[in-house]
Structure 1
Amino acid sequence: MQNGAHRTKGLSIYAAIAFAVGNMVGAGVFVLSGLIVDIAGPSAVVSYLLCGLLVVFSGLSYAALASIYPEDGGGYLYARRILGSYPGFLAGWAMYISVTIATAFVLLGFGIYANLLTGMNLDPRYGAVVGLVLLTALNLRGIAEAGKIEVALVASKVAILGALILFGLVHIQASDFTPLLPGGVGGMLQGVAMIFFAYIGFQVVAMMGGEVKGSSKNVPLATLASIGIVALIYTGVIIALLAARLPSYGSESVFDAAVVLFGSAGGIIVALGALFSTLSSANANIIGASRIILEMASERQIPGRFARIWNGQPINSILLGAGLGLLLILIGNLSFIVELTNVTILSTMTLVNLSAIILVRRRALLPPDRSYFSVPFGILFPLLGATSCVAMLLTLAPPIILLGIGVLLTGSILFVLEDTPEGERVVQEIRLLLRRPAEDVSEDPGRLRVEVP
């Protein structure tokens, strides 16, 4: 065993909420909110609240499934257990790709605000690459240190955003909401489609379920609590932007609004908060992605060598994600990154909602020996969740949808690769890390394999 792989199940519900909030309150606030106001005007408030409601439908499905399968893996695990081997693989690969792509967007936001804080005019991609290198190195050291830093970063940025929201509420006027729909209903709905990306971080809690104390109870609570907290923060920030009455809105609007409401010192404070925020969001993404890979390798969905363990972390997975993130950072197109992320994550969420529908209809799948979170009103909310995800997919440009599907299908190569003897040893090590019996690593009858010389 390399470097003594070990695992401590010690994240409290507060730490779990911090990871989810830290993931969601990142570039989705500091970069995306100004872009949404530019598209939807004052109806951006409605866009964020409506999108939050749609996400809650899927959040209920995640909460129910997390209470039954309180392990790492999140949407991958649920689709794998209920829909079968290959749908589970697609869900897991889509999750891994989506959070990796989202990391690139968040770190570009880090680069933008690093410029604003320092007064420099460098290409934001430089700062993004620096942030990517630092966080990759941090996560190669293990989750314990990353978790401590995450809680501190989240507390800092929530305090800063809280001050901004308070000032916005004090200065907002009814006239700031007129006209409410400058872009019409279409502009408001376009905002909803873009915002979906900002809420996907709630899944991080489910991805790390095996490391949360009392996970059957606390993972569902943390999932729903984090969505509610973030919806309030997003809405409050939009109100602050409107109260600032900026001449135009864009990716730097939160900084500009802080200067209007607080003065030049306020701009510096908010820029610092943005740096904390984007780093914590990217950090949570990297941690969540590594958990997915561990789970997939443990169930032989991917060859073990792609999840080689060092310091309890799948270093090959982290390095692969860093490479993909670097490529997207160099491309540097924010809209492209958001839309590509939406294709992959909406695919996963659709599969998770379908899993919840089957779970509700087939009571025999429920564990008889313990309590679990039950979705109210039967299949209604999972059905609404699946429908909303498909509807959001259809709002995206066809080339983006085809590219996203291509990315998912290309990943299927991993599904059919035969593992090496070294990879088999890694799988045994991962199962020990996850505290699962080694003898449970049986050949998956639903997985195709091809021999690779």
Structure 2
Amino acid sequence: MISESEQPETALKKTLGPVSLTALGVGLVIGSGIFTVIGTAIGGNPAKIADWKGSPILDLILHHGAVAGRPGAGPALALSLVLVAVVCAFTGLCYAELASMIPIAGSAYTYTYATLGELVAWVIGWDLILEYAFANMSVSVGFAAHVVDLLDWLGIRMDPKWLSPAFLPQGLQDLAGKDIFTPGWHAGFDIPAFLIVFFITVVLVLGIRESSRTNNIMVLIKVAAILAFVLFGLGFIHPANYHPFSPNGFSGILAGGSIIFFTYIGFDAVSTASEECRNPKRDVPIGIIATLIVCTILYMGVALVLTGMVPWSTVVGDGAPIVNALKRLSLEPGGQRLHLVRLFVLIGALLGMISSILVGQYGQARIWYAMSRDRLLPSAFSRVHSRFRTPAFSTIVAGILVAIPAGLFDVGSLAEMSNIGTLFAFVLVSIGVLVLRRKDPSRRRGFSVPGGPVIPVLSILFSLLLMAGLPAITWVRFFVWLTIGLFVYFFYSRKRSEFAQ
């Protein structure tokens, strides 16, 4: 596999170092959830009647029946993030070991291909396509919500039907709680979400060096915006908002961690870029571990300040919870100084989500590229542009398939599908570490997970626990997607793969 990746006609440029890799990971992790999905993780997805489809799997088991929607973590999202950080620490170490041994584009797909065989690799590759696509759709919708806030700050009014998804399961309300759209479908399309994916697709076709430099700048700005929110927000914390700290108990903590977990797909993006690293055996582990440390600190700071500034229940269904919290407080006595802070956070959020979508689209195209190089997808997906040396066709198709749904669906529905795909990928990567240690123990490892099999096993168990916090309907959709993938594999990919003969 390593030899094939070095052939001139399919080789990718090796331009990335540890700083750029860490910026890729941070760019995706703190852009995709900290400005958007953190609201639905805190507030949950409440429903008026109990329904098995919206009930987390763990609640169906423990309560022997359906509950009314997905519970929110409330201020206890800080504890959810600790749980997520533990899982990501375990899984990130597993990623680092495999990436140091197999420095090839494709991340979890490639590792599974090398350790568990073609069929399981196809399953995880098909899963990663789902994971990246829905994560990017979710962030694109969040980006559009922040564009609406920017227009509001500038005093520009536009028809909301062109600034929100066509399908809104909870409807759309203004800050006063008045209905703009009732729940369900409406005649409209989220144009900003569509346009940002189109723009990023063009940037990625031009080349990873240019994309990486652009991402590094945007990451610095959005980290500064997050720190500004935390520092200014400390003065507006009301301790009463922390009571009750965990309004829905462990069920809410688990559900909050499960819904926000997809943001940590940044680990996968770092390892996806290993084929374009100058020294992958050293740089990829550094990039993964540094991403984990930076992002966990930032997430916990934002969660504690946000839930201290406004009651946790007010962020239910909010696609821009941070800037809307600043807007509410800026209208109160003494809150005028937050007006400019809100603008700075808005700009940081917009740039943050742009960098998040950029890294996500980059990773998705490389997954398709790797699967095509193994002859599991049509050869067009592994074709490298003669001038830019990027997988242009994969990048363009990925852009089309993300941009259109981003204009149609809301952030919560999209995030849940990405979460289950991310966690499933983490499970298989951890299994891959155990398998490769048994099958090929003598191969040199630039980085080894300490503690023998303990950490990979804990990674598997914790990932399955978080999967149990997702709604039952998400599991059903996930298995439907995998069933379609198996149909494609047995009737197309298996017949033309490199092992077909």
TM above 0.5: yes
8 Å CA contact 1:303–1:418 kept in 2: the answer is no
Report matched runs for 1:11-90 at 5 Å: 11-38=16-43, 39-90=72-123
* Match of residue 270, structure 1, among 333, 345, 355: 345
Tell me how far 1:312 sits from its aligned partner: 2.0
Aligned residue number for residue 221 of structure 1: 286
Equivalent-residue separation in structure 1 for 2:279 and 2:261 (angstroms): 29
Distance (Å, rounded) in 1 between the aligned partners of 2:310 and 2:146: 21
Which amino acid in the other structure matches residue 17 of structure 1?
A: T
Counterpart of 2:359, as a letter, is: A
Indicate conservation of the 8 Å contact 2:370/2:382, yes or no: no
In the TM superposition, residue 210 of structure 1 has moved relative to its aligned partner by 1.0
Q: Deviations over 1:208-250 (max 9, x none)?
A: 1011221111101111110111011111111221332358223
Separation in 2 of the partners of 1:365 and 1:417? 35
Is residue 364 from structure 1 mapped to residue 440 from structure 2 by the alignment?
Answer: yes
1:444 and 2:493 are equivalent in the alignment: no
Distance 2:309 2:263 in 1: 22
Give 2:457's match in structure 1, choosing from 369, 380, 383. Answer: 383
| Aligned counterpart, 2:405 | 328
Cα offset for 1:330? 3.1
RMSD of aligned alpha carbons: 2.3
Distance across 1 between alignment mates of 2:99 and 2:404: 33
The more displaced of 246-255 and 270-279 is: 246-255
Q: Compared with structure 1, are the counterparts of its residues 365 and 87 closer, same or farther at alpha carbon in structure 2 (3 Å cutoff)?
A: farther
Q: Which amino acid aligns with 2:343?
A: I
Partner of 1:433: none
Secondary structure at the aligned position of 1:331 is classed as: coil
Q: Which residue of 2 aligns with 1:248?
A: 314
Amino acid at match of 1:14: V
Stretches of structure 1 that go unaligned for 5 or more consecutive residues are 425-442, 449-453
Alignment equivalent of 2:296, drawn from 216, 227, 231: 231
Match of 1:405 in 2: 479
**Superposed, which structure 2 residues align to 1:70-149 within 5 Å?**
70-119=103-152, 120=157, 122=160, 123-124=163-164, 125-149=190-214
Alpha-carbon displacement from aligned partner over 1:129-188 (angstroms, at most 9, x marks no partner): 110111111112221221111111111101111121223445546554332112222212
TM-score w.r.t. the length of structure 2 is 0.78
Q: Tell me the number of residue pairs that the alignment of Structure 1 and Structure 2 aligns.
A: 419
In the alignment, is the contact (CA less than 8 A) between 2:74 and 2:246 conserved in 1? yes
Q: Counterparts of 1:160-179 in structure 2 under 5 Å?
A: 160-169=225-234, 172=237, 175-179=240-244
Residues 168 and 50 of structure 1: CA distance in aligned 2, closer, same or farther (over 3 Å) = farther
What displacement does 1:353 show? 1.1
| Matches of 1:278 and 1:290, distance apart in 2 | 18
Are residues 1:355 and 2:406 paired? Answer: no
Instruction: Name the structure 2 match of 1:288.
Output: 363
Partner Cα distance (1:366, 1:26) in 2:
39
Partner of 1:279: 354
Q: Quote the offset at 1:354 in angstroms.
A: 0.8
Residue 391 to residue 18, structure 1, CA distance change in 2 (3 Å) = same
Q: Percent of aligned positions with the same letter in both sequences?
A: 26
Structure 2 residue runs of 5 or longer lacking an equivalent are 1-8, 44-71, 165-189, 330-334
Which structure has more helix as a fraction of its residues? 1
- The C-alpha deviation readout for 1:26-68, integer Å capped at 9, x for no partner, is 1301111222222222111111121121121111111111111
Conservation of the 8 A alpha-carbon contact between 2:84 and 2:257: yes
C-alpha spacing 1:417/1:135, structure 2 compared with 1 (3 Å): farther
Flag the 1:371–1:284 CA change in 2: closer, same or farther, 3 A: same
Contact 1:72 1:208 in 2 (8 A): yes
Please report how far the alpha carbon of residue 105 of structure 1 lies from its aligned counterpart in structure 2 after TM superposition. 0.5
CA contact (8 A) 2:27 2:219 kept: yes
